[in-house]
Amino acid sequence: MTTFVAVMKHFWLLIFILLGSWTLHAQSSGWSSPKEEMRAVWITSIYALDWPKSPTKNASDIERQKADLLKILDQLKAANFNTVFVQTRLRGDVIYPSKIEPQTSHIGAKSITGRYDPLAFAIDECHKRGLECHAWFVTYPLGKEGSATHQKNKDLVKKHQNEIYLDPGNPKTAKYLLSLVNEIVDKYDIDGIHMDYIRYPDSKFPDNTTFKQYGKGKNKATWRKENINKFVYQLYDQVKAHKPWVQVSSSVIGMYDGHIKVGRGYMNAADVSQDPENWLAKGKHDFVVPMMYHKDNLFFPFVTDWKSRSHGRLIIPGLGVYRMDKKEGDWTLKDLTAQVDATREHQMGGHAFYRLQFLTDNTKGIMDKLANDYYRYPALLTPMTWLNAVRPLPPQEVEAIGEGDYVELSWEPVRQPGKKTVFYNIYRSQTAPVDTHNPANLIATRLAETAVLVSVNHNVERGYYYAVTAYDRYHNESELSRPVYFVSGYRRM
């Protein structure tokens, strides 16, 4: 079994020392929260909004840029988030070294950033913390005229309202975008591809020439919707053909019916030729994230509306935490927590916050409220049984060995057919059998290692039962291992 010294080499595992003692308090609090729930946040790279805050100019800046991201991920993990959407493609530029598009200047000079891969670093550090990392991909907008991607693809673009867009009606556009998605999926151990702006900018998009060439007598609105749908189908099928566990999702307009303010105007899904219910009904998305950045009557009725459109897949409402800023609406903390309550009441599968800075700045106490109340316990993600419903085998040979103020838990690795990746979750309870349905018993999630340190509460005379489950990339969880009992100075298999 792994020794104490060996475990100490895995620095991140030490966080579970803190989580262990913290969960002791949580178990006695009586707070109730779902065991399965996506808790996501968008990390925005464009305009230096979230990360990175400034581009690298020299080698030492790389370490600063890395340290900034580590601080963010540590804050998210400590608050029991489990998913991040890292902006990977911005406006025709990307954060990683690509063979297709230029690396964004928001990361830094290529001569400097060539010494590390920001996307690979983000994925690795997320995984060390048990966080899923999804590549957030802005689809059609390319930003201002004259960019390198614009110059390279002039036959694919249209200018609209002083900005450049890839034309969704040109069949070559889909081929180009799919090559980028393929590059990310094949090159990186990403957990998901999260599409954004996967729509027309508005009904006035100047595509008459394209429509005459490819419309084939169809109604223009129908043709536009079919262009987006066709691309979505191709995207989903391509991703699953390469790595079937990689999730496909999109940020979408927050309502189908009625008009809400988006950017400079008001729109609904029909105005931008976007039909995500179709994607869900056809089985071409694993989840969608409607951007529901409004409150009261522009929020609550549409939760139930989205629920009715899910077709057995997941709806993860996007919540506008930025609206708590005085310049963006000056919402109260209760305005936002009421929306979290609604997502749980309707069993939506979770929620996502836009955007990161307003969480890490603890705007109006939102991060404290999440960490201390709503996210007091860790949460797993909902199993994607439509992709794979086979549960992993349970871990064997679980041991608990005392090491001063800590207990070292270790177990034999689970070997899955086809060498499928398996992670581990740890449960702890003062009673047996250990209840895996109680989120208060869950103290560690998505561990890659087969050993961990947990703090010991010397004031608990009865000790604890510890047990482990295996957890795969489809979010299927195994049966519980045989529990091991441990009390300070004593252990029993």
268 — pLDDT class (breaks 50, 70, 90): confident
Counted domains in the chain: 2
Cα 159 from Cα 205, distance rounded (Å): 9
Question: Would you say residue 335 lies in a domain?
Answer: yes
Q: Give the number of C-alpha atoms closer than 13 A to the C-alpha of residue 101, restricted to the C-beta side.
A: 26
Per residue in 75-88, pLDDT (tens digit) is 999 999 999 999 99
Cα 190 from Cα 124, distance rounded (Å): 9
Question: Would you say residue 379 lies in a domain?
Answer: no
Together in a domain, 180 and 278: yes
CATH of the domain at 71: 3.20.20.80
Together in a domain, 60 and 97: yes
For residue 369, pLDDT over 80 is answered with: yes
For residue 15, pLDDT over 60 is answered with: no
436 — pLDDT class (breaks 50, 70, 90): very high
The bridge status of strand 451-455 relative to strand 464-472 is unpaired
Together in a domain, 461 and 485: yes
Mean pLDDT of the chain: 90
The bridge status of strand 406-412 relative to strand 451-455 is antiparallel
Count of helices and strands (H, E) across the chain: 14, 22
Helix axes 171-187, 220-242, angle to 10 degrees: 20
Together in a domain, 370 and 453: no
Which strand (E) or helix (H) includes residue 179? Answer: helix 171-187
Question: Would you say residue 333 lies in a domain?
Answer: yes
With H, G, I as helix, E, B as strand and everything else as coil, classify residue 304.
helix
Question: Would you say residue 99 lies in a domain?
Answer: yes
Together in a domain, 156 and 12: no
Q: How far apart are the first and last CA of the chain?
A: 14
Nearest to 136 by CA among 176, 186, 190, 82: 190
Q: How far is CA 323 from CA 100, 245, 312, 342, 367, in A?
A: 36, 34, 30, 17, 15
Say whether pTM exceeds 0.85: yes
Together in a domain, 93 and 23: no
**What residue type is assigned to position 71 of the chain?**
K
Cα 411 from Cα 470, distance rounded (Å): 11
98 token code pair? 């690509």
Together in a domain, 11 and 59: no
For residue 260, pLDDT over 80 is answered with: no
Task: Strands of 34-169 (E only): list them.
Answer: 38-43, 83-89, 132-138, 141-143, 157-160, 163-166
Together in a domain, 88 and 7: no
For residue 453, pLDDT over 70 is answered with: yes
Q: How far is CA 30 from CA 27, 257, 268, 465, in A?
A: 7, 40, 41, 19
For residue 491, pLDDT over 80 is answered with: no
CB atoms within 10 A of CB 490: 10
Q: What is the mean pLDDT of residues 2-22?
A: 42
Cα Rg of the chain, angstroms: 23
3 — pLDDT class (breaks 50, 70, 90): very low
| Backbone φ and ψ of 442, nearest 5° | -85, 115
Together in a domain, 28 and 147: no
Together in a domain, 77 and 172: yes
- Domain's final residue, options 374, 399, 420: 374
444 token code pair? 């560690």
Question: Would you say residue 419 lies in a domain?
Answer: yes
Together in a domain, 24 and 126: no
Together in a domain, 368 and 427: no
Per residue in 45-92, pLDDT (tens digit) is 999 999 999 998 888 999 999 999 999 999 999 999 999 999 999 999
DSSP state, residue 155: G
For residue 278, pLDDT over 90 is answered with: yes
- Domain's final residue, options 374, 392, 411: 374
461 — pLDDT class (breaks 50, 70, 90): low
41 token code pair? 């946040």
Q: How far is CA 36 from CA 33, 300, 305, 382, 384, in A?
A: 9, 22, 22, 5, 12
Cα 412 from Cα 429, distance rounded (Å): 21
Question: Would you say residue 476 lies in a domain?
Answer: yes
Question: Would you say residue 400 lies in a domain?
Answer: yes
CATH of the domain at 447: 2.60.40.10
- Domain's final residue, options 348, 374, 400: 374
Question: Would you say residue 323 lies in a domain?
Answer: yes
For residue 1, pLDDT over 60 is answered with: no
349 — pLDDT class (breaks 50, 70, 90): very high
> Domain of 203?
34-374
